[in-house]
Amino acid sequence: MTETTNARTDLVESITREVLAALAAGGVNAKPGDPCLTCTGACASRCATKVRDVVAGGASRVGYHGQADDVPGDLARFIDHTLLRPDASAAEIDKLCAEAKEHRFAAVCINPTWVRRAADNLRGSDVAVASVIGFPFGAATSEVKALEARRAIRDGAREIDMVINIGALKSGMLDTVRADIAGVSDACHESGAANKVIIETGLLTDAEKVVACRLAQQAKADFVKTSTGYAKGGATVFDVALMRETVGPKMGVKAAGGIRTAEDVQDMIAAGATRIGASAGVKIVMGEKVAHGQY
């Protein structure tokens, strides 16, 4: 058992070194003597330009065709308009849906109890209904998560944002985590819905982030997502770039947690995000800033 654990640890560390090296190298634009070649990759969290250079090494890494500096002006279609407060009222859900239709957001993201109401509000529009599963701790059993996903889909959800079993991941129980994700993926795909897997980056090491993304891929998830917004930290440019580098060009990457301005959205898209989760969606698309600390 010890030999197996050591081999797994060595593999995780090897994969992480490869991904971080690719980020640090700045893609195909790095030149001999470039200080980025010796960087650990931490600078990406402070310099969107450096991340844009990474993405420019292969434009297919983002859900957008063109140079990474030319981020799309139509930010709304990247945004899941989100309201996950436990005290959210029916009137607030109605308002959320109305705003999503007005600004043509990609989806609304709400708790399961409001899915049917949101689906009724959004019928006939091109705004999807997304709901959270195992939220916010990911500590429900796999059977309950799959059942919860099927019920939300039956009520009208077309996208599911599930939280992984974080404790199992940190315990090295990789088969458990993979099966947990696969159960929800199966529930989604049998009805044509998408599974977005929240790995909760603020609670993971870089090595664990890489492993979580790989497990989500193996379990046939459609997206990996940074955060619930309820744990410490939120989406960072570095984490989005790390996740994109890990999953490659085809899988979706959703950045969520602490995204408050249009500039935040542009930086996340440049790093490789194809979807943004934000409760400040209206203010973002209208170019307004949310007060610091508000999520």
Using one digit for the tens of pLDDT, what is the confidence trace for 71-111? 344 688 899 999 999 999 999 999 999 999 999 999 999 99
Asked whether residue 63 is assigned to any structural domain, the reply reads: no
> 205 with 236, same domain?
yes
> 80 with 54, same domain?
no
168 pLDDT band (50/70/90 cuts)?
Answer: very high
> 181 with 109, same domain?
yes
Q: Is the separation of the CB atoms in 206 and 21 below 8 Å?
A: no
> 142 with 37, same domain?
no
User: Which of 48-62, 78-92, 120-134 has the lowest average pLDDT?
Assistant: 48-62
User: Which of 56-65, 121-130, 141-150, 258-267 has the lowest average pLDDT?
Assistant: 56-65
Instruction: Check which CATH number belongs to the domain holding 134 and give it.
Output: 3.20.20.70
70 pLDDT band (50/70/90 cuts)?
Answer: very low
> 82 with 211, same domain?
yes
Annotated catalytic residue within 180, 196, 225, 267: 225
Asked whether residue 8 is assigned to any structural domain, the reply reads: yes
> 125 with 264, same domain?
yes
Residue 2: predicted pLDDT: 54
Annotated catalytic residue within 180, 254, 264, 267: 254
- Residue 136: which domain range? 75-285
Catalytic residue status for 161: yes
> 281 with 149, same domain?
yes
* Closest C-alpha among 278, 273, 240, 243 to residue 261: 278
Catalytic residue status for 254: yes
Give percent of the chain with pLDDT exceeding 90.
Answer: 65
Asked whether residue 294 is assigned to any structural domain, the reply reads: no
- Is residue 143 exposed (0-12), middle (13-18) or buried (19+ Cβ within 10 Å)? exposed
Cα(100)–Cα(21) distance, integer angstroms: 39
Annotated catalytic residue within 53, 80, 161, 267: 161
Residue 76: predicted pLDDT: 86
Give percent of the chain with pLDDT exceeding 70.
Answer: 72
> 178 with 94, same domain?
yes
Q: Is the separation of the CB atoms in 225 and 197 below 8 Å?
A: yes
> 197 with 234, same domain?
yes
Neighbouring CB atoms inside 10 A of 135's CB total: 20
Does 27 have pLDDT greater than 60?
no
Average pLDDT over residues 184-211: 98
Asked whether residue 22 is assigned to any structural domain, the reply reads: yes
Asked whether residue 69 is assigned to any structural domain, the reply reads: no
Give the chain's mean pLDDT.
82
